[in-house]
């Protein structure tokens, strides 16, 4: 029986679906996928069109609404919304160090996780659509970031299930390998570092001081994780959000206290760092991150720790070299490195599994350029000119390659605009769909 909840301005209904682990073997093992239906209060019985929301990630559960928050405030004007906890996340059958240990060794765990990419997520969504809307029912789709990648996969595999699609910060390069992605990403991250240091010039010295200290004496985080110089640099993931540079600056402000033996990194700082760096709540983000770019027709050799390999082409990110001279220490961005599976307690048990996935070859293709070129489903996309996470050039190339797609290019917002803009971004895309913008 579904559980119904009421919060300010909304009514929610829980749904749990049993789906095949491997959609090619529907008679085999099944897992659970959870979704939360949300409708505006007073409209529970209205015949509203459905809007499926696909969260960013990989490995991110859908948001937990407390009312008509953020983009939901606009969506609920017109839609009945389904917030999907993509397989392995949230209230769906979990995939983490605790549950994966039951699957066997690293090879067995990797084989299991290979079925947690966008193609499986789309097939889950199609099964759910047929159960909720009937075979002929079609729904709208909103894909944020990785959810936009999944939208392109949906349009490639099952466009007949969609009446329209909205994409925010998620037009992936259809033919971009993992190497291509990171080769384009490092210069964007360097630009975000430059903007950080231009806004807060004092942070150049502050970051160098912390990095120099960690080079001599790595610090223990409250959860037992190890804060090394590369881990400290990974805080650059924050720089892709609209308020990210300010949040990072304020974190740096409270880095030091005067201890018994002199200056030491403060508990406040270390706790804040842990909150940013720990993958305890979303381990799939780390384990599957590079695999979301794997396609046999693009890179049959697999991904092979592309971010680590490509980083060598950008010596400006070498902290040791920076500390040996007078250059600023640069933060990295949305990159996953092998050492993360040694320093993060939540990832340590998955180190060998991640290695097997990195070495995996022959990933099935996620996109059909031919089918996307002939697409007839209306698609409306927001492309952020200064997006640190998704390459603008790739997004614009994809926008031109997908049939029946209109895009809005803006430098007013960053990658998190759907959430932080309230109604603004989604309203613009909906008005585009209605011929009003």
pLDDT in tens, 359-393: 999 899 999 999 999 999 999 999 999 999 999 99
Section 300-318 average pLDDT: 97
Instruction: Tell me how far apart the alpha carbons of residues 395 and 117 are, in angstroms, rounded to a whole number.
Output: 20
CATH number assigned to the domain covering 4-174+367-433: 3.40.50.1820
| Residue 395 is among the residues annotated as catalytic for this protein | no
d(CA 303, CA 295): 9
Whether 145 is a known active-site residue: answer yes
| Confidence at residue 411, expressed as pLDDT on a 0 to 100 scale | 95
Mean pLDDT of 122-132: 98
pLDDT of residue 437: 82
Supply the pLDDT for residue 2: 73
Which tens digits make up the pLDDT trace of 166-207? 999 999 999 999 999 999 999 999 999 999 999 999 999 999
User: Hey, where are the domains in the chain?
Assistant: 4-174+367-433, 178-359
pLDDT tens figures, 327-359:
999 999 999 999 999 999 999 999 999 999 999
d(CA 359, CA 327): 35
pLDDT(409) > 90: yes
Please tell me the predicted confidence (pLDDT) of residue 410: 97
Which residue of the set 145, 245, 291, 395 is catalytic?
Answer: 145
Task: Write down the pLDDT at residue 1.
Answer: 54
The 10s digit of each residue's pLDDT in 287-296 is 999 999 999 9
Q: CA 48 to CA 51: how far, in whole Å?
A: 9
The tens digit of pLDDT for each residue in 237-251 reads 999 999 999 999 999
Instruction: Give the pLDDT mean for 107-129.
Output: 98
Over residues 256-271, the pLDDT tens digits come to 999 999 999 999 999 9
**Whole-angstrom distance, CA of residue 168 vs CA of residue 408:** 10
Phi, psi of 40 (to 5 degrees): -65, 140
Structure confidence at residue 15 (pLDDT): 97
Which residue in 34, 33, 32, 27 sits closest to 13, CA to CA?
Answer: 34
Distance CA 320, CA 85 (A): 41
- The verdict on whether 365 is a catalytic residue reads no
The catalytic residue among 203, 344, 415, 421 is 415
* CB of 379 closer than 8 Å to CB of 162: no
């Amino acid at each position: 029986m579904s559980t119904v909840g009421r919060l300010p301005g909304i009514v929610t209904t829980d749904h749990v679906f049993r789906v095949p682990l491997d959609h090619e073997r529907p008679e085999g093992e099944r897992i659970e996928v959870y979704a939360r239906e949300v409708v505006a209060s007073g409209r529970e019985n209205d015949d509203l069109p459905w809007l499926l929301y696909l969260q960013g990630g990989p490995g991110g559960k859908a948001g937990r609404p407390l009312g008509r928050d953020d983009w939901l405030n606009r969506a609920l004007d017109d839609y009945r919304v389904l917030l999907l906890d993509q397989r392995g996340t949230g209230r769906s059958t979990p995939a983490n160090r605790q549950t994966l240990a039951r699957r066997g060794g690293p090879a067995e765990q990797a084989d299991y996780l290979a079925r947690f990419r966008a193609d499986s997520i789309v097939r889950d969504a199609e099964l759910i659509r047929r159960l909720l809307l009937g075979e002929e029912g079609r729904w709208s789709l909103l894909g944020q970031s990785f959810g936009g990648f999944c939208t392109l996969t949906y349009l490639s595999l099952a466009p007949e299930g969609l009446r329209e699609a909205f994409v925010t910060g998620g037009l992936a390069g259809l033919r971009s390998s993992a190497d291509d992605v990171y080769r384009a990403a490092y210069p964007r991250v360097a630009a975000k570092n430059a903007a950080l240091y231009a806004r807060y010039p004092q942070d150049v010295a502050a970051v160098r001081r912390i990095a120099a200290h960690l080079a001599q004496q790595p610090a223990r985080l409250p959860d037992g994780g190890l804060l090394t110089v590369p881990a400290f640099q990974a805080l650059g993931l924050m720089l892709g959000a609209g308020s990210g540079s300010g949040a990072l600056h304020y974190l740096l402000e409270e880095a030091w206290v005067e201890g018994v033996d002199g200056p030491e990194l403060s508990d406040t700082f270390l706790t804040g760092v842990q909150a940013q760096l720990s993958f305890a709540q979303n381990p799939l983000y780390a384990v599957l991150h590079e695999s979301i770019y794997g396609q046999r027709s693009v890179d049959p050799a697999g991904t092979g720790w592309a971010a680590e390999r490509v980083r060598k082409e950008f010596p400006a990110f070498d902290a040791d070299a920076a500390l040996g001279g007078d250059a600023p220490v640069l933060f990295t961005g949305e990159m996953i490195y092998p050492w993360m599976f040694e320093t993060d307690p939540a990832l340590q048990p998955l180190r060998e599994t991640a290695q097997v996935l990195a070495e995996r070859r022959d990933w099935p293709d996620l996109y059909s350029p031919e089918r996307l070129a002939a697409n007839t489903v209306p698609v409306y996309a927001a492309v952020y000119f200064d997006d640190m996470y998704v390459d603008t050039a790739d997004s614009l190339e994809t926008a031109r390659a997908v049939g029946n797609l209109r895009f809005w290019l803006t430098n007013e917002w960053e990658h998190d605009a759907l959430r932080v803009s309230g109604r603004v971004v989604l309203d613009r895309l909906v008005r585009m769909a209605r011929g009003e913008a």
